[in-house]
Amino acid sequence: MTLLAVEALSKSFGGRGSGRGDGAVVEAVADVTFGAAAGEFVTIIGPSGCGKSTLLRLLAGLEQPDSGRIVLEGRPLAQARERQGRFGYMPQRDTLLPWRTVLENVILGLELAGGSREEAREEARQLLPLFGLEGFEEAWPSALSGGMRQRAALLRTFLAADDILLLDEPFGALDALTRRVLQQWLLGVRTRFQKTIVFITHDIDEALLLGDRVLVFSPRPGRIAADLAIDLPHPRGEETVLEAGFTALKRSALAHLKL
């Protein structure tokens, strides 16, 4: 069943009346169409500046498309306001609030939704061990390592959203080793939740290792150059990237990336 449908979505920046001044129009997302089934893990890969973040911002209700539709559970969400609060969006840049402890950070979504803070804290506390944050609930974000910060931000996103997570390069700023640890960890966590995930990355291995499907974006304006099913068996581990099936998929994705 299609949970989320994106239909012919386009978005440009600049031009007259946009405040950019130079009048140049940047076409960021052009005619993007795809769907995500409930529980599906869709990865998106594309060159820098091709409009990946813009696509997520459109979904999250931070931008309005020039044309096209975003349909959630069969209902089109035309206004940005209708989309806000419907997705668990994790921005590309680190956005933990420095003035809140880890625990107060991760309950943010529940708090803004108007629930009881104490219940939210209880719910969060139960998930802290799974996210490797046990014992750090009272720590300030500045005391955490890069990997822990990202796990805290992920927990916040997990708690904020009912079902769809939009993750913008969550591991992009981490060192290679930490990133591999977190990839394996996310594969493990994923099996325990019924979440639908749209996951942006600029790392092909990451896209293929984590996803059920990968959307390969063309350079700007971002269009979908390929929509590849990743039929590698689970559980996937460190060795998966060495298998023949993986290499074949990677070759195919690289061909579509046209770097």
Partner 1 sequence: MRTTRLFVPALVLIVLAVVWELAVRGLAVPVWILPSPSAIWQSFWETRDLIGVHVGQTLLEVAIGVAVAVTAGVAVAAAMDFSPWLRRAIYPLLVISQTVPIIALAPLLIIWFGFGIAPKVIVVTLFCFFPIAVNTSDGLTATEPDIVDLFRSMGATWPQIWRKVRLPAAGPYFFSGLKIAATYSVAGAVVGEWVGAKQGLGIYLLRMSAAFKTASVFMTIAIISLLSIVLFLTVFVVERRIMPWYFAERSEQ
Ligand X SMILES: Nc1ncnc2c1ncn2[C@@H]1O[C@H](COP(=O)(O)OP(=O)(O)OP(=O)(O)O)[C@@H](O)[C@H]1O
What does the binding site for partner 1 look like in residue numbers (CB under 8 A)?
A: 57, 60-62, 84-87, 89, 91-93, 95, 97-100, 108-109, 112-113, 140, 142-143, 160
Residue 120 contacts ligand X per CB under 6 A: no
DSSP string computed for 35-80: EEETT-EEEEE--TTSSHHHHHHHHHTSS--SEEEEEETTEE--SH
Tell me which of 15, 23, 49, 76 binds ligand X, using CB under 6 A.
49
Say how far apart CA 107 and CA 126 lie, in whole Å.
Answer: 12
Q: Could you tell which of partner 1, ligand X, Mg ion, none binds residue 97, using a CB distance below 5 to 8 A set by kind?
A: partner 1
Per partner kind, with CB cut-offs from 5 to 8 A, the member of Mg ion, partner 1, ligand X, none near residue 124 is: none
Copy the structure tokens of residue 76. Answer: 């089109």
**Distance, CA of 216 to CA of 222 (rounded, Å):** 9
Task: Please choose which of Mg ion, partner 1, ligand X, none residue 41 contacts, taking the beta carbon within 5 to 8 angstroms, the exact cut-off set by kind.
Answer: none
CA angle, 193 then 196 then 202, to 5°: 115
One of 5, 13, 35, 205 touching ligand X (CB under 6 A): 13
Which range in 8-16, 92-100, 214-222, 230-238 contacts Mg ion by CB under 5 A? 92-100
Indicate whether 53 belongs to the interface with Mg ion (CB under 5 A).
yes
Nearer to partner 1, 85 or 219 (CB): 85
Distance CA 70, CA 198 (A): 14
**Residue 215 touches which member of Mg ion, partner 1, ligand X, none, C-beta under 5-8 Å by kind:** none
Report how far residue 93's alpha carbon sits from residue 240's, in angstroms, rounded to the nearest whole number: 29
The sign one gets for the Cα dihedral 89, 90, 96, 97 is negative
Pairing of strands 41-45, 196-201: parallel
- Asked if 201 is part of the footprint of ligand X (rule: CB under 6 A), the reply reads no
If contact means CB under 5 to 8 A according to the sort of partner, which of Mg ion, partner 1, ligand X, none does residue 28 touch? ligand X
Binding stretches for ligand X (CB under 6 A):
13-14, 26, 28, 46, 48-54, 92, 202, 220
